[in-house]
Amino acid sequence: MKAMRLHRLAPISADSDGPLVLDEVPVPEPAPDEVLIRVTTCGVCHTELDEIEGRTPPPTLPMTLGHQVVGTVARLPTEGARFKVGQRVGVAWIASSCGQCDYCREGRPNLCPDFKATGRDCAGGYAEYMTARPAFVYPIPDALSDESAAPLLCAGAIGYRSLKLCELSDGQRLGLTGFGASGHLVLKMVRFLYPSAEVAVFARSATERAHALALGAAWAGAPGEAPPHLLHAIIDTTPVWKPVLDALRVLRPGGRLVINAIRKEGQDIDQWLGLSYPEQLWMEKEIKSVANITPDDVREFLQIAAEAGIAPEVQVYALADANRALKELRAGQIKGAKVLRIAPR
């Protein structure tokens, strides 16, 4: 089979050949407790940039990246089959957890110390076939196309988890800092789940701000600008610290800032020296981070997306063009989500 694999960590630049190599490799042999999946589409995520450039690197190389996978079941496990051959399924960021620790027993496997990630700790969906544990494989609702469903498995599911952590109520005001694949799906979610809520979007690009307004945002401005009213909650999806400080300034007393980022550039405490406690953090404002997703997040969000008709705007690429998609993502050439079409259904 064909697979786009990462052989070495390296910066992504427009004039480089890589970073991925199109390899011919054997179809993976599933373990007795694994499903073999024929991949049809796989989303391209910012986290892949972090893996390639070494901020959250795979433990072994070469590695097949990709954790927003849609395909069909090609072979079932020997015991406890939950699916049918030919059934359309998805695989997300969470590949496995220990199942025994306190976090797993509490229904929070996203915090498990033995958390394994698809496309980082085990081979992912930038390939024609992959294997997965059945507990971390999800039926795809008929209402969702393969191309639409792929970004929902990460950008959508992590956006849904972020929104849950905001504890937003209908009629309140939500801010979104950054407006990429996750941000535009959160906006669509809010309009379905909280029809009287207002959304303010902070984005550097005038194109992204116009896109947000077209999708129903009540206000859109550049980072650092102030919306007409203070916000009850804000979701930050940026990789840098300054939007966090800017967000705290426009968060109302008792509000909550949810940081949805796998890492922040410039981890030094120096980045926080501009924090003004009385102006930005006082009055019982809260800061909460998002760590991974749970299977429940994926299942719940896929159902919501199907019921609400939530479908991301996508740009589709061939598997062999994965490097082009990644370079465009690195350069900020984003509208909606990028998806690799690997095999027709």
Residues 162 and 194 in one domain: yes
Identify the helix (H) or strand (E) that includes residue 313: none
Helix (H, G, I), strand (E, B) or coil at 111: helix
Asked whether the predicted pLDDT for residue 4 surpasses 90, the reply is: yes
Which of 21-35, 124-138, 172-186, 316-330 has the least mean pLDDT? Answer: 172-186
Tokens of 79: 């015991």
> CA-CA distance, 267 to 261, in Å (whole number)?
13
CA distance 155 to 182: 4
If asked whether residues 62 and 99 sit together in one domain, one would say yes
131 shares a domain with 6: yes
Where is average pLDDT lowest: 7-21, 65-79, 273-287?
Answer: 273-287
Count CA within 13 A, CB hemisphere, residue 206. 0
Query: Residues 161, 136: one domain?
Result: no
CA distance 288 to 311: 27
Give the C-alpha separation, 337 to 63, whole Å.
22
Same domain, 161 and 281: yes
Q: What is the chain's mean pLDDT, rounded?
A: 91
Q: What is the pLDDT of residue 288?
A: 94
Domain span at 21: 2-140+313-341
d(CA 168, CA 256): 9
Q: Which of 40, 27, 41, 34 is nearest to 75 (CA)?
A: 34
Residue 268 has pLDDT above 70, yes or no: no
Global confidence as pTM: 0.89
Residue 220: which CATH number? 3.40.50.720
Q: Worst-scoring range by mean pLDDT, 55-69, 109-123, 165-179, 258-272?
A: 258-272
Q: Are residues 87 and 170 in the same domain?
A: no
Res 305: pLDDT: 96
Q: How many residues in total does the chain contain?
A: 345
Helix (H, G, I), strand (E, B) or coil at 215: coil
Q: Is residue 151 one of the residues assigned to a domain?
A: no
Distances, alpha carbon 299 to alpha carbons 23, 41, 85, 107, in Å: 33, 19, 20, 14
Interatomic CA distance for residues 191 and 308, integer angstroms: 9
| Three-state secondary structure call for residue 84 | coil
| Number of domain units in the chain | 2
Give the pLDDT band of residue 335 (cuts 50, 70, 90): low
Q: What is the mean pLDDT of residues 170-182?
A: 91
Question: Is there a single domain that holds both residue 326 and residue 236?
Answer: no
Residue 284: which residues within 8 A CB-CB, separation 6 or more? 253, 254
Q: Is 102 inside a domain boundary?
A: yes
Considering the domain architecture, whether residues 265 and 204 belong to the same structural domain is answered as yes
Residues 115 and 161 in one domain: no
Q: How confident is the model at residue 187 (pLDDT cuts 50, 70, 90)?
A: very high
Q: Is the pLDDT of residue 6 over 70?
A: yes
The pLDDT value given to residue 334: 66
**The domain that contains 14 carries what CATH number?**
3.90.180.10
**CA–CA separation, 99 vs 113, rounded Å?**
11
pLDDT band at 78 (very low <50, low <70, confident <90, very high): confident
Residue pair 93/291 in contact by the 8 Å Cβ criterion: no
Single out the residue of 2, 38, 37, 40 nearest to residue 21, CA to CA: 2
If asked whether residues 135 and 171 sit together in one domain, one would say: no
Residue 120 inside a domain? The answer is yes
User: Same structural domain for residues 171 and 134?
Assistant: no
232/117 same-domain check: no
Residue found under tokens 């029809």: 195
CA distance 241 to 279: 17
